[in-house]
Amino acid sequence: MLNLYNKINPSSIFKFLIFIWILSIPFKNAVFQISIVLISIFFLYHLLKTRSFNILFDNLKETKNLFIGFSFIIFAMILSNLLNPEFLDKKSWHTIFSFIFRYGLILIILAYFYRLDFFKKKDIIVVTLFSFFFLLLTGVYQIIQEPNIVMGEGIKGTLNNRNAFGLMMGMGFVTSFYLLNYKRNFGLVLLLLFSFFMIFSFSRSSWVASSFSFIILLALNYKNIKISHIVYFSFFMIFLALLYFSFDSFQHRFEQLLNGNSSNRTTIWLYTIEFIKEKIFFGYGLNSFKNLPNDFLNQFPDPHNSILEILLYTGLFGLISCVFTIFIVLKKIYDSKNFILFPIATYFIVVTQFDFGAYGSKELLSFLTIFVFFVYADSFRKTV
């Protein structure tokens, strides 16, 4: 890589590495790990070669409250692990290490090179949407191979479960909101595509999160709604209605949602709350869920609720740290008047109330890192 650095434009190398990293996020493979290592090496080499330490300090000034929140989250993780060695999993400490380097360091690197004008925001948007679309194509392939999948267990593409696939399709759906002000027709096409595959993943958490995001989008823009928007919205609703009345499987899953069928989540939450009460301040440590003395809970990978997971693993101290950090991010969105990010923030918050962990979900947290970068991106635009 170091020889390439001297032969090729450094910004091109960085863009390529970021492309590989973002493209690999939805998939559980070694490419994701390797891309993070290469991005980190490239960053350290550039930093030491140019001695641009002032950029790091400038970026820290812009994100000092975020840094404080992140530091408290890490401290809560470490403290909870130290206090509960008997409940820890073999990956409990590894989760903290990964959290720092996969998300904290990557955000620092994105901010660093963005200030140096190595890439533009639209580059990240395009690559992120391409990553979602690439995963969508694996769903297309699955439908071709198994046409009845839309009538049965749901589309999952090359992933190991439909909820993970639905999460990504939902993210593609809400990210497409970004395009509506610039490439309206293209944005609408993406909305329809991601909607179809999200619906037929049968991931109800993604349905609910996307619906809330869409409502927030409409609420924020109600004063700017024009006839053309109403036409687009009507077309979209007709599209959903056609899908609903054409597929019994869609109707069945939707009725389950309306009837409050939680797929054991309610019972999981009730049992989890009982354990939380016993260690309310600092929790049981990371990844302790499967080591709790409860045969029912041991059947499941996690509490299926981010708030309960945070309380279970890191207690009130961890929850306060996370709430503070989320508040800082939301306040930054409001202060910068970058309101298009509120629907995306809503998606992250809502979807984690039913699926995906707050500390260990690689896919969700990686895209959350990209999201936080967009929240602060305009603060990093100052020239050096």
Please tell me the distance from the alpha carbon of residue 294 to that of residue 299, in angstroms, as a whole number: 9
For residue 6, pLDDT over 80 is answered with no
Predicted local confidence at residue 160, as pLDDT: 83
- Contact criterion met (CB below 8 Å) for 170 and 198: yes
Q: To which H or E segment does residue 61 belong?
A: helix 53-62
What is the pLDDT of the chain when averaged over all its residues?
91
- Which 8-state DSSP code applies to residue 147? G
Identify the burial level of 243 via C-beta atoms within 10 angstroms of its C-beta, where 0-12 means exposed, 13-18 middle and 19 or more buried. middle
pLDDT at residue 301, as a whole number: 82
Q: pLDDT tens for residues 129-170?
A: 999 999 999 999 999 998 888 888 889 998 888 999 999 999
Torsion angle in degrees (nearest 10) through CA of 153, 158, 162, 166: -130
Round to whole Å and give the CA distance between 34 and 31: 5
pLDDT at residue 1 in the model: 54
Q: pLDDT digits over 299-318, tens only?
A: 888 899 999 999 999 999 99
Task: Return d(Cα 166, Cα 211) in angstroms, integer.
Answer: 13
